[in-house]
Structure 1
């Protein structure tokens, strides 16, 4: 018993150390990102501006352009990563991810439909679009769940993955048809959005995303023990007294909300929900009380690094954050696929 207790303490210390290092890395990249961009601000200028001693131009660049975007990059990275970690847990499938399962596509379809009828520059858009994206993502998740669930067999992880890929392909085709019907301004916005560009770069979008983050991330963390039980399998979890279907649906709703709100603000950024949880589990182990917060930190770090690279590598032009993430995530997905096979 003492040896088990000691092992738990050692795991907790290792997880705390790893998460501390990840937090420090996010802080370092945060500082680098504030100094990076088409308009150069030196470290001393950034410090002076942060404390209110910069000129009007420096204040505008830092507080109105860079800081909101950096904060949004961290938030959507954390949300996508935790969403992916939840989905991998409840489906017991290492390849599950809101992008691969079609959740992002469902949210994206709702956003494209909204853009087709209403201008995206209205004051209500930043706050309305996450809710619309959630409805689209929730309907997609429900469709996937109904198609993948078999009464006598339960929810097969493999079937759910295949159904999700099929539904995502169908929704993507529908979005292509819709984009053809858009006027040039709307078409340009949708193309930028689909490429995974963080288009919501003002404090309004931070405020629109923040409630989803504040409510759903702590909720997911509070369900860590339930997720540990669910990974044992449906029969074992039921035998231990866990209301499997109810908890699975609650966790799925949280995962959908996190992914949908991120899609509404950050566009079609893929692979974060796939890569970040895997890296987190390699660093802190499979127990979800450590894997969930570590996933959030890895996801935030991955997206802020990708966004900083995208903004600076070909300045003054910009590479979409989703493209930079895909360069990292696609090879890793193929590696996981090969291992699963």
Structure 2
């Protein structure tokens, strides 16, 4: 194939990817506007618009700027981070069922948070900006354990073995979290249960600032490594033949996936399935090339989670359902569909 023919093929793909991502951005903006109107206290679109641009009453300003907007922004950031983490894991393992929740990375982050809640003095409280680092430490240790148990000398990592080991480690960590949560006092126990259910509990701008640097730094890094992910998908022998340093690149990308998942779990709680569904939907929309797949996954994950959070806050008013439960209701049927499809193929 000549370079001219190759260029003519790339242009339609690029145009399609740009169109799809533009549509996803528009959908996020639409749901963003709807979400600002959603809550126990109703604000009309005109009141939201007036308050957003500095008008409105003091009460409306508190509702919009201090409660709703931080939560909406966090939902988008957490969804984007988890989806990109899932895309990385699916790329390096060549397993379309890989996901930070299924592989036990979220569970490792959750265990670290519960340990902090269990042993840190209640009257002091853990520093907010250390929470993502604490969660990353737990997620990193879980990922290291899974990676070590999945690695077979001379054969590398089998994608099916990685998935099975991840599920086993996740189940073990989940059991340990239950044991630890039982020993908590009632206030901390309630917080842990809400957190495990995937409630977006960080509802002020400090949480946004705690999470934002990790998203801003790590997603561009993954974009920079998009070609490496493309080559890794071709298999170990082909990757080595093309000059890729398999283990070093794989470990670097795994570290980025762990850091993204840990930071998102620290702020958003135990939200599952977004890291699985986001990359799958993005792959159907823009194809397997990671130059397009990574940003499309971020947008898809952000859209999924802001929709789930809007439903969680608006469907059962005045009661609020944890966002993670709504995400699981959306994600579980799709996960079962993927399992059936994988077995059929």
TM-score of the pair, normalised by structure 1: 0.98
TM-aligned CA distance change 1:207 to 1:271, over 3 Å: same
d(CA) in 1 for partners of 2:221 and 2:125?
A: 29
Q: Distance in 2 between matches of 1:272 and 1:88?
A: 13
Q: Which of 246, 266, 269 is matched with 2:268 structurally?
A: 266
Return the match for 1:69 from 68, 71, 74.
71
Partner deviation per Cα, 1:246-293 (whole Å, 9 max, x = no partner): 010000000000000000000000000000000000000000000000
In 2, Cα distance between equivalents of 1:115 and 1:59: 32
Residue pair 2:116, 2:126 contacting (<8 A) in 1 also: no
Matching residue of 1:182: 184
Of 36, 39, 58, the match for 1:37 = 39
Q: Residue 72 and residue 24 in structure 1: after superposition, are their counterparts in 2 closer, same or farther (change >3 A)?
A: same
Out of 258, 270, 294, which is 2:296 matched to?
294
Q: Which residue, out of 82, 91, 94, partners 2:93?
A: 91
Cα distance between partner residues in 2 of 1:326 and 1:115: 25
Of 299, 303, 306 in structure 2, the residue corresponding to residue 304 of structure 1 is 306
Show structure 1 runs of 5+ residues with no match. none
Shift of 1:124: 4.9
Deviation at 1:51, TM superposition (A): 1.1
- Structure 1 runs (4+) greater than 4 angstroms displaced: 119-124
1:126 offset after TM fit, Å? 2.1
Give the structure 2 partner of residue 253 of structure 1.
Answer: 255
Count of aligned pairs between the two proteins: 341
Q: Determine the structure 1 residue equivalent to 2:336.
A: 334
Deviation of 1:125 after TM superposition, in Å, equals 3.2
Match of 1:322 in 2: 324
Task: Give the conservation status (yes or no) of the 8 Å contact 2:196–2:269.
Answer: yes
Shift of 1:3: 2.5
Structure 1 vs Structure 2 CA RMSD: 1.0
Counterpart-to-counterpart distance in 2, 1:125 and 1:336: 40
After superposition, give the CA deviation of every residue in 1:212-234 in whole Å (9 maximum; x if it has no partner).
11111111111101100110001
Give 1:117 deviation, angstroms. Answer: 1.6
Q: 2:286 corresponds to which residue?
A: 284
Correspondence 1:210 to 2:212: yes
Determine if contact 2:120/2:126 at 8 Å carries over to the other structure: no
Quote the offset at 1:123 in angstroms: 6.7
Equivalent of 2:166, from 164, 167, 174?
164
Distance 1:200 1:125 in 2: 13
Deviations, residues 157-202 of structure 1 (Å, cap 9, x unaligned): 0000000000000000000000110000000000000001001111
Instruction: Find the residue that maps to 1:315 and give its secondary structure.
Output: coil
